[in-house]
Structure 1
Amino acid sequence: MLNKVFVSAIIAAAGQGKRMKSRINKQYLELDGKPILIHTLEVFDKIKYINEIILILKEDEIEFCREKILNRYEFRKKIILVSGGRERQESVYNGLKFVNKNAQIVVVHDGARPFVTADVIEKSICEALKNKAVGVGVPVKDTIKVVDENSYIIDTPDRSKLWGIQTPQVFNYDILIKAHEKAIEDNYLGTDDCVLVERLGHRVKMIEGNYDNIKITTPEDLILGEAILNRRKSKI
């Protein structure tokens, strides 16, 4: 079934990375001797069901990324470089304009999540074929509190119903493009692609990912990332 479906992957890597407090953007920082972005791209490059990779970058970093990062490594798939926007949502929409006209499924992933696994990506694609919209996440471990504008607790949601959303988030192309166009029409800025699809009234199926699938955002995340890589290598 998957062999007959054209799947496009959009990798969002145009963020500022201000919390990293680094002179270079976080996706170019190294883990185990390789840029974070390369770790991410290598996972997607090896998945046979993905037909193309669209990499969203800051406009002024496209040539740097091509010459100093991508050309140092070999990829089987063609990687299309696209300029991002001011917000992640605009960047993903820019990427949607470049997907192949035959694309039926679009996988949206954060470039700074290098520990995503192939099995989670493939499972999310399969679920998207059935449900049209899929989010990957994990049940929260902590008790969550809702506070008011003065930081007083006003509610404690049932933890059993709470998930931490990750990426990939995978959609039928027609649904995702409509969701983005509706957000533009309404001048709405969402925190992820799932919420844009939710606004259309379409249900989003959640599937469980893994707790390793962290987003590298702060210097502390780099330390945790090294630990994850060392643990994985010890199991080989």
Structure 2
Amino acid sequence: MNTNFGAVIVAAGKGSRMGTAESKQFLQIDGRPIVVHTMDIFNRLPWLQEIVLVTGKDDVARCEAWVEQYGLDKVSAVIPGGSERQESVYQGIKQMNTEWVMIHDGVRPFVTHDEIYSCCKTALREGAAVLGVPVKDTIKQVNGQGLITATPDRHSLWAVQTPQAFRLSDLLDAHELARRNGFFGTDDAMLLEKAGLPIAVAEGKYTNIKITTPEDLEYAAFLKYKGEKGK
């Protein structure tokens, strides 16, 4: 990939659904914190220019120590995030010096180089892209009383993952527009949607899980074991 790409890895959340005292991104798989596994994947991309890690204010020092310990030489900055994910991403992209940027969840340590490349290639072609997978289950819309109100066509539904790739100037503009309007989206693609910009989907893999619950952690240990057995 011969272009100017950087990555913001977001690892500032507390993750209450995990039910642990330690934040989910700092729990260990195979002796290393989850966020270190994630950073290492991006650090090994030969065409990636830089990485900015956004974490909690009280976690900056230990993350900086891990960057040094594990030789993550493409990490140019470790910075504190905001109270919301959107604010954390905004702080991260303001640190970037590249033309294009990927946003990735710190608790998605199983994304592959092929998936990242596919997302970025799609973004270069279409202007912006997200990684995603087709929904396998039937989805129901449910009201506040727990009653089904609609069944969307499954063939038009995708579960969106990260990374999400954008031209840095477009993402900055979308974030600043959202800040002026008081709009909060659940991912960065929503901010570009709100700004009227098109976004394409690059098909990923179902193994690119976001580790959020204890069950996810068990599955992550299985994926790691399976990956080691396959080498």
User: By the TM > 0.5 criterion, same fold?
Assistant: yes
- Does the Cα contact within 8 Å between 2:63 and 2:78 map onto a contact in 1? no
Residue among 45, 52, 55 paired with 1:54: 52
Q: Post-superposition shift, 1:55?
A: 0.2
Q: Post-superposition shift, 1:222?
A: 0.8
Q: Does 1:173 align with 2:168?
A: yes
Which residue pairs with 1:91 in the alignment?
88
Give the Cα–Cα distance (whole angstroms) in 1 for the partners of residues 208 and 136 of structure 2. Answer: 15
1:175-199 per-residue CA deviation (whole Å, 9 max, x = no partner) reads: 1111101110110010000110001
Give the Cα–Cα distance (whole angstroms) in 2 for the partners of residues 76 and 196 of structure 1. Answer: 31
Give the unaligned 5+ runs of structure 2. none
Give the Cα–Cα distance (whole angstroms) in 1 for the partners of residues 57 and 128 of structure 2. Answer: 29
1:35-81 per-residue CA deviation (whole Å, 9 max, x = no partner) reads: 101110111001011100000011111012223x3332112323311
Q: Does 1:227 align with 2:225?
A: no
Three-state SS of the structure 1 residue aligned to 2:48 is: coil
Which stretch shifts more, 147-156 or 190-199? 147-156
AA of the residue aligned to 2:81: G
Which residue pairs with 1:157 in the alignment?
152
Provide the TM-score with structure 1 as the length reference: 0.95
- Does the Cα contact within 8 Å between 2:67 and 2:73 map onto a contact in 1? no
Residue among 117, 121, 125 paired with 1:122: 117
Give the Cα–Cα distance (whole angstroms) in 2 for the partners of residues 59 and 171 of structure 1. Answer: 26
Give the Cα–Cα distance (whole angstroms) in 1 for the partners of residues 25 and 149 of structure 2. Answer: 38
Which residue pairs with 2:13 in the alignment?
15
Give the unaligned 5+ runs of structure 1. none
Give the Cα–Cα distance (whole angstroms) in 1 for the partners of residues 115 and 81 of structure 2. Answer: 26
Give me the identity figure in percent. Answer: 43
- Does the Cα contact within 8 Å between 1:19 and 1:217 map onto a contact in 2? yes
Residue among 121, 136, 159 paired with 1:141: 136
Three-state SS of the structure 1 residue aligned to 2:22 is: coil
